[in-house]
């Protein structure tokens, strides 16, 4: 595919997104209909679409033209590509610019660095919850997220893992403050097919997610439950950090949990997957990675910031309070309850914890930390609560 044809495909996907269709579904459908497109073409179209979703408002401002065509045009301008190189009708590319579009580009406002690229109501939420960090956090969400790997220290060392990756031309660098993390700086798309990944030496996991797990004081013999385990990234990180724990994982979606069995086998980790929802107070440590807005990971899933609605955010806060309360009943006296989200917002984080503590006097807050974007990775929150004996 020519660069112009890739933009034409991205415009098709963006138009579908603007009508309410999920971006991932649109990209998958496009790929099925256009089997001639190679892996590089599919990756390039995906990059244009996701870069555009991260910068939806500012790209529209740059072009002054509406719909997916205008957003893609803004992408060109931001990338320093002359619009006529892409919008010329050649090689299955977008139709040439008409006079009205040229006038719109000429009169368009330049996207300012302070542009939040958020729905208006979320701008106010960011300002309220993040204060002085609101603008910087919103700006960071406009950029691509780094690709981080967690070294499986139960099998190898970071240094050895880096050498093994380099042997396959995958170059990495350490992440300051997170000893298990390697950040990929070259050939990230080769990771999933590499020997270090397939043999369980490394896993894809954001550096902040790893740092969160390293806050936990895991000990051999502990009964540990990953509640809301999802695909099990934190489960496997805990297993590597302390292989002698008796580790269980549960998620309300068994389909989401199912791949953990194969991942654990690859990593050499012992994890018991629970089919039934746990109900007994039999765990020394329970990790609750609660459902949330995902605002700390919107660089990876930029669609989330455009789909979230005020009522959806309020509903999530109720769910978080309920899930935390349910999980608290599974902790033995003297045990530890961990509340975590991949959200930047106080109302999903410390405010949920404070609400929980006001109605659960048997718990006390021992420690909490908010991980802002790029410090060291995605946005995360972690609170460590102790249950009295």
Residues 6+ apart with CB under 8 A from 255: none
Beta bridge partners of 202: 151
Q: In the chain, what is the straight-line distance between the N-terminal and C-terminal CA atoms, in Å?
A: 65
Is residue 96 helix, strand or coil? Answer: coil
Q: How many CB atoms lie within 10 A of CB 327?
A: 22
Does any domain span residue 43? yes
User: Does 125 fall in a domain?
Assistant: no
Longest dimension (CA), the chain: 75
Q: How far apart are CA 106 and CA 192, in angstroms?
A: 44
Q: Of 205, 229, 248, which residue sits at a domain end?
A: 205
Instruction: Please check whether residue 86 lies inside any domain of the structure.
Output: yes
Do 284 and 376 belong to one domain?
yes
Is residue 120, in this structure, part of any structural domain at all? no
The whole-number pLDDT of residue 297 equals 98
Enter the tokens of residue 170: 């995958």
Residue 113 is predicted with a pLDDT of 42
- As given in the structure block, the two tokens for residue 266 are 């690859």
Phi and psi dihedrals of 283, rounded to 5?
A: -115, 140
Look at residue 137 and tell me if it is in a domain: no
How would you list the strands of the sheet with 271-273, edge to edge? 271-273, 246-250, 223-227, 283-289, 331-341, 380-387, 363-371
User: Would residue 121 count as lying in a domain?
Assistant: no
Question: Can you give the residue range of the structural domain that contains 196?
Answer: 147-205
Residues 6+ apart with CB under 8 A from 74: 52, 55, 58, 59, 60, 61, 62, 63, 65, 111
The answer to whether residues 60 and 178 belong to one domain is no
> Is residue 147 helix, strand or coil?
strand
Residues 219 and 199 in one domain: no
With a CB cutoff of 8 Å and minimum separation 6, the contacts of 196 are: 161, 164, 165, 168, 202
pLDDT of residue 91: 83
Q: Is 187 left (phi over 0), alpha (psi -120 to 50) or beta?
A: left
pTM: 0.93
Q: Which residues contact 307 (CB under 8 A, 6 or more apart)?
A: none
The rounded distance, in Å, linking the Cα atoms of 273 and 263 is 12
Task: Give the Cα separation of 212 and 343 in Å (integer).
Answer: 13
Contact 174, 181 (CB under 8 A): yes
**Cis status of the peptide bond prior to 376, with omega within 30 of 0:** yes
Q: 314 with 373, same domain?
A: yes
Report which of 245, 213, 208 is spatially closest to residue 229, judged by C-alpha positions: 213
pLDDT per residue of the chain (389 residues) written in tens, 0 to 9: 999 999 999 999 999 999 999 999 999 999 999 988 899 999 999 999 999 999 999 999 999 998 999 999 999 999 999 999 999 998 899 999 999 999 999 888 665 444 689 999 999 999 999 999 999 999 999 999 999 999 999 999 999 999 999 999 999 999 999 999 999 999 999 999 999 999 999 999 999 999 999 999 999 999 999 999 999 999 999 999 999 999 999 999 999 999 999 999 999 999 999 999 999 999 999 999 999 999 999 999 999 999 999 999 999 999 999 999 999 999 999 999 999 999 999 999 999 999 999 999 999 999 999 999 999 999 999 999 999 99
180 and 313 both lie in a single domain: no
Task: List the CATH number of the domain containing 286.
Answer: 3.40.50.150
Q: Is residue 132 part of a domain?
A: no
Distance, C-alpha 387 to centroid of its chain:
30
Q: Are residues 263 and 344 in the same domain?
A: yes
Show the tokens assigned to 1: 């595919």
Q: Are residues 192 and 244 in the same domain?
A: no
Domain co-membership, 236 together with 267: yes
How many CA atoms, within 13 angstroms, populate the side-chain half-sphere of residue 214?
Answer: 14
Indicate whether 187 and 273 sit together in one domain: no
With contact defined as beta carbons under 8 Å apart, do 62 and 74 qualify?
Answer: yes
Statement to judge: residues 187 and 222 lie in one domain: no
Three-state secondary-structure class, residue 274: coil
Q: Is the dihedral of CA 95, 97, 101, 105 positive or negative?
A: positive
- Domain endpoint, select from 205, 229, 244: 205
Question: Which residue, 92, 113, 134, sits at the end of a domain?
Answer: 113
Q: Count structural domains, the chain.
A: 3
- Residue 309 CB-half CA count within 13 A: 3
Q: Are residue 154 and residue 241 in the same domain, yes or no?
A: no
> In this structure, is residue 123 part of a structural domain?
no
Helix (H) or strand (E) holding 235: helix 233-241
User: How do beta strands 223-227 and 202-204 pair?
Assistant: unpaired
Q: Are residues 380 and 296 in the same domain?
A: yes
């Amino acid at each position: 595919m020519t660069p112009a044809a890739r933009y034409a495909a991205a415009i098709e996907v963006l138009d579908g997104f603007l009508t309410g269709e999920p971006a991932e579904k649109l990209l998958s459908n496009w790929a099925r209909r256009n089997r001639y497109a190679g892996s590089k073409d599919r990756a390039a179209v995906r990059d244009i679409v996701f870069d555009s979703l991260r910068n939806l408002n500012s790209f529209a401002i740059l072009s002054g033209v509406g719909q997916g065509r205008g957003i893609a045009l803004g992408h060109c301008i931001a990338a320093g590509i002359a619009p006529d190189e892409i919008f010329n009708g050649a090689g299955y590319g977008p139709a040439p610019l008409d006079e009205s579009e040229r006038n719109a580009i000429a009169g368009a406002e330049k996207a300012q660095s302070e542009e939040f690229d958020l729905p208006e109501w979320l701008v106010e939420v960011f300002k309220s919850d993040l204060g002085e960090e609101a603008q910087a956090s919103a700006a960071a969400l406009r950029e691509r997220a780094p690709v981080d790997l967690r070294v499986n220290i139960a099998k190898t060392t970071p240094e050895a893992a880096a050498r093994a990756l380099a042997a396959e031309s995958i170059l990495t660098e350490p992440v300051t403050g997170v000893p298990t993390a390697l950040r990929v700086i070259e050939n990230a798309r080769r990771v999933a097919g590499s020997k270090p990944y397939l043999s369980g030496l490394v896993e894809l996991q954001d550096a902040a997610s790893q740092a969160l797990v390293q806050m936990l004081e895991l000990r051999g013999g502990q009964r540990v439950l990953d509640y809301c385990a999802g695909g099990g990234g934190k489960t496997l990180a805990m297993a590597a950090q302390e292989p002698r724990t008796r580790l269980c994982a549960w998620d309300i979606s068994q389909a989401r949990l199912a791949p953990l069995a194969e991942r654990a086998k690859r990593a050499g980790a012992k994890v018991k997957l629970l089919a039934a929802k746990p109900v007994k107070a039999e765990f020394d440590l329970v990790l609750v990675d609660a459902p949330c807005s995902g605002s700390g990971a919107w660089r990876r899933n930029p669609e989330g910031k455009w789909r979230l609605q005020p009522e959806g955010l309020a509903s999530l806060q109720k769910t978080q309070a309920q899930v935390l309360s349910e999980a608290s009943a599974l902790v033995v006296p003297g045990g530890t309850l961990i509340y975590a989200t991949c959200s930047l917002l106080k109302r999903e984080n410390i405010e949920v914890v404070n609400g929980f503590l006001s109605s659960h006097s048997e718990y006390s807050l021992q420690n909490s930390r908010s991980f802002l974007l790029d410090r060291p990775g995605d946005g995360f929150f972690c609170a460590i609560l102790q249950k009295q004996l």
